[in-house]
Structure 1
Amino acid sequence: MIGQNLSRRGLLFGAVGAVAAGFLAACGGDDEGSGSQGGTASPGTSGGGFPASVTHQFGTTTVEQAPKTVVSLGWADGDVLLALGVVPAGILDWFQAWPVGVGPWAQPKLNGAKPQVLKGPEINFDAVAALRPDLVTFTKSDNVKATWEQLEKLAPTLSGPAGTQPYGTTLKDQTVLIAEILGRKADGEKLVADNDKVLADAKAANPSFAGKTVCVAAAFAGQYGAYTRGDGRVQFMEALGFTNSPKIEDLKPANFYAEVSKERVSLLDADLTVMFGIGAGAELRKDTVLNSIPAAKAGRLLIIDDADLVNAFSTNSVLSTPYTLEKFLPLVQDALK
């Protein structure tokens, strides 16, 4: 079971901090706060309307008035809140990568505030309760109803949309749901529209991407895995004009990724293969099995071991998109020359 948890978490985080993830899986995690001083949520007033009710996979959550203390627990929920001008009082740091709880693409939105940072990915309910929230966002998670029920006892808690696989809440749904519970659905829709335009402009500027197949993969602990269309990383590539590898889609995995053994490494070959491997870049570049695929031999294998870039790519939020494009597009353009 520990091995299975490591596999799922390693792929979830794009192989970011796989060693730490394995430790958490084995030991049950340590979710105590980082010691940062809690911030004060500032929902703003643009288009606000209360009471606000949102229906999600576990029921309907209602907020009677503008929340003053918001705790962000869903993966990338903090990015959405900050994009809307709301500084969470507490934020779950899924990657355990940043002392302030969010990546460099979102940090300017803190405006100097210091939310209480909760170590993820497990949730310490006592730490959440101590913040006395009047709203908890939990829109992108493992979709365990019992977790939501326990959080709902502490404060109105927003989950993800019905019919979504674990960790499969899309950028659009996450952004609009959170904006809606803040009484600002139109603001959320504008953020999504702006994000779509940035991606569409990048696609138009790179017509050679259209129709090319891509395999977005991760490597850790001697394992390979590839993401499917249910994952935000693949959705990002599709927005740029790429087509996710039919060989990976044909595997029809239960969740957002497919495990690929070394014996079947040819499945990772595509017009462009993107491989995440934080802390393992040098090892992967020497991996004779991985480098046997045609994409590698032709220089179309991108091994991404920049932690912030992998995290931005994996987060797939309205704040991380410009950062990912800036850092990632030149690599793709060079690989496909």
Structure 2
Amino acid sequence: MTEKNAYAKSGVDVEAGYEVVERIKKHAARTQRAGATGALGGFGGMFDLSQFSVKEPVLISGTDGVGTKLMLAIKYNKHDTIGQDCVAMCVNDIIAAGAEPLYFLDYIATGKNKPEQLEQVIAGVAEGCLQAGSALIGGETAEMPGMYGEDDYDLAGFAVGVAEKSQIIDGSKVAEGDVLLGLASSGIHSNGYSLVRRVFADYTGEEVLPELKGKKLKEVLLEPTRIYVKAVLPLIKEGLVNGIAHITGGGFIENVPRMFSNDLAAEIEEDKIPVLPIFEVLEKYGQIKHEEMFEIFNMGIGLMLAVSPKKADRVKELLDEPVYELGRIVKKTGTSVVISNG
């Protein structure tokens, strides 16, 4: 018995692994940008910082996965958008710190290498990288029979960006009176899916719920996370933004206070939030308390900006999309986030 046959009998198909690498090269090639160097498939991804005219460069990194949204991708056999979710969760975090994403690496672990399926996943990763202006410079695919079932896989990623030291967004510039501006989310994004799956456990995903305006449930639940890099980066470079909150797990209550100091609070008018139909469906079908929804989901706002009042009009001018003026930064007298009915 040869070593190759021995490995195959243990459940690992090395030939399928080689095929995956070949399939994904063309997707990585689509994401090439200034600074990306070296060929995919080496032992380490390379990036040349010398091409950037940053006087005091600070590297800012972020890592994340997709969570149990993956289980719906597997259930519905739709794998071409979940990679964008993974990229988004990482690059939206680093843009919130003021960094321009430079490169991305992914990690996929699976019970059985299925080259066509994994190519779909990586195609989604590449699409996310294109939207973020980030190069896909490497990754890893691990076949782990016994750890995962044959139809299962997990996905995680790692992004690195660069910021001019003077433009880092760390909460220190947010001040009382700043305006809170919201950018719309594309849907649930990639958070709260353990609850989402419980609410819709008995659904096939083919249902067209009347509240969802003609879309199949599975299309709405797998809508990929929006990437905000290209919208927000010009604002950062022009020095227009004091604080940024990426609304992920923990919703408004956990994430908004992360962009300002402990002596401040956010006052948000609920009627200014463009609540998406899927959140109303979740609240109704899941019998979730209304106030708890803001502790779990983005409710239709995926990114929130704190902006000086005199700069708010310029921010709205540069953003080629609806911008929602949600409230103000105030002195803290109680909780860090106050959501009122207007």
Name the TM-score, length of structure 2 as normaliser: 0.26
Q: Which has the higher contact order (CA 8 A, sep 6+)?
A: 2
Name the TM-score, length of structure 1 as normaliser: 0.26
User: Which structure shows the higher strand fraction?
Assistant: 2
